[in-house]
Amino acid sequence: MAGMVGKVVEMPFDTVKVRLQTQHQFIGSSGAMAASDIYTGSIDCFNKIVRREGFSALYRGLSSPMIAAALESAVVFGVYGSLKHWLLNNGYGSASSPSADAPTTGHPRSLTTTQSCIAGATTGLFTGAVLTPAELIKCRIQAQRLEQCCGSAVGIQPQSQLMLQHAAESQHHQHHQHQHHHHNHNITPSTVPYRGTLDCLMRTLRAEGPIGLFRGGTSTIMREVPGTAMWFSAYELTSRTISGYLVDMQNQSNNNNNNNNNNNGSSNNTTQRGGHATSAAEYEASPLTQCVSGAVAGCLYWLVPYPIDTVKTRVQALPEGFKVGHWEVFSDIIREEGVRGLYKGLGLTLIRAVPASAAVF
């Protein structure tokens, strides 16, 4: 349920992110409109989507990540939880700070930051495979609307020709068309919009087969491995830091007032609040600590692998039947847009990560 709530919260931000990441390759077929003239930034993109397509357009493609959310949460927390339990059972972890889930794991200690990072990276291998089909369907539905936003048929910007020439040649080979593919390297998505998630799924299966649903899988896994590593390690570290700080504050307060109070007999990791001993692990498990830690974790999840996500989005946003390699996409972005092209939409994504990740934890 928490994963689904997170998807609903972040979907409008994600739609803007995808549009900003892909607009350079989808512009007016005449080439007269530069990519920078379509959306000048996140706010401009948001305003144009709402004005031209309505507020509901921000939620197009939502059903795909919603369906995957339950499975994603089960895999993420299931795999990470199992790895954490295995590591603690085999003598890993630090006893310097109690873990909030000690009653569940049976261990009064927590993983170190490095161990959380390794467990998170391993978890990312599994989540990348699970997320790829849902991400592909979502990206295609979100990106195809650039045609309507630009007010003209979608074509390919001249400077993107090299990248998409590979895609056109791949399509020519796959479908064994008896025509010269050099006649036209422009890629124009179908003029018939996807009617929804199921329609996009069926059209992808017809054009590319089941393997087509896993296009962009390599970059999705490359995003999830470092991203999930940062997500869990940042959450654990932030949670321990906050709880430790609160314990220190309470202990200092108790010491300052101890001349008038009875002996509370608290240890290093307990404080006195309302006559009840409060441990660092209890502070760690508090909703406020979890929300703040989740927000920090969400920001770091996106900050580290964001360039890989941009490549992934462009690969997956191509129309069904067209394929292009990750390296070609990366090279095209660097050549035509510079390093900044890899970070389009990052600011809004970090803002979105705060409520979305806080809701999940």
In this prediction, residue 175 carries a pLDDT of: 47
pLDDT tens digit sequence for 275-289: 554 566 676 778 888
Is residue 44 predicted with pLDDT exceeding 60?
yes
pLDDT tens digit sequence for 127-161: 999 999 999 999 999 988 664 444 443 344 433 44
Give percent of the chain above pLDDT 90: 43
- Mean pLDDT, all residues of the chain: 78
The C-alpha atoms of residue 353 and residue 335 are separated, in whole angstroms, by 29
In this prediction, residue 97 carries a pLDDT of: 54
pLDDT tens digit sequence for 54-80: 999 999 989 888 888 888 888 999 999
SS3 annotation, 77-114: HHHHHHHHHHHHHCCCCECCCCCCCHHHHCCCCECCHH
184-208 average pLDDT score: 74
